[in-house]
């Protein structure tokens, strides 16, 4: 796809020397369509469930400011926080997040652990409807 964009740009450079404004407009239109398509593909992100368990030090640092720092770490790592929950049971906290890929979510998870002392188990997640399509 990107190679195709370069070909179109090369054609556009040749057309700059020509007087045919209509052809130049057509090529620019194709470039815009390809650019928008590439951006849509780039924004598709995977969903992950991050399950956290507090350490003794992690509990001591609970604060709204720290939660905001965690959200900022996720955003700086290319992610988006959809939901956050406090839990009872095996895990203490849960984040539902979107990330471009595994490496990005791993980077965020480690950075959050360093900041908070919360250890995370992170699982990729897909909607049940998509799961049914895969199996169906």
Q: What is the pLDDT of residues 11-40, one digit of tens each?
A: 656 655 555 665 555 656 666 666 666 555
3-state secondary structure of 127: coil
Per the CB < 8 A criterion, the answer to whether 92 and 86 are in contact is yes
Higher pLDDT, 8 or 29: 29
Determine the pLDDT at residue 38: 59
For the chain, what percent of residues have pLDDT higher than 90? 55
Determine the pLDDT at residue 36: 63
Higher pLDDT, 28 or 62: 62
Determine the pLDDT at residue 88: 96
| Half-sphere exposure of residue 114: CA atoms within 13 angstroms, side-chain side | 7
Q: pLDDT averaged over the chain?
A: 82
Tokens found for residue 102: 């595994």
Determine the pLDDT at residue 35: 61
Task: Compute the radius of gyration of the chain from its Cα atoms.
Answer: 22
Q: What is the pLDDT of residues 93-125, one digit of tens each?
A: 999 999 999 999 999 999 999 999 999 999 999
């Amino acid at each position: 796809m990107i190679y195709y964009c370069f070909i179109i740009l090369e054609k556009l450079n040749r057309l700059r020397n020509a007087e045919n404004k209509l052809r130049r407009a057509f090529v620019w239109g194709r470039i815009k369509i390809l650019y928008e398509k590439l951006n849509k593909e780039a924004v598709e992100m995977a969903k992950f469930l991050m399950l956290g368990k507090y350490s003794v030090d992690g509990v001591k640092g609970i604060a709204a400011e720290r939660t905001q720092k965690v959200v900022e770490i996720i955003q700086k790592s290319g992610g988006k926080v959809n939901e956050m929950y406090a839990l009872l049971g095996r895990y203490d906290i849960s984040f539902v997040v979107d990330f471009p890929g595994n490496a990005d979510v791993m980077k965020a998870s480690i950075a959050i652990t360093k900041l908070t002392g919360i250890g995370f188990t992170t699982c990729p997640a897909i909607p049940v409807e998509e799961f049914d399509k895969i199996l169906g």
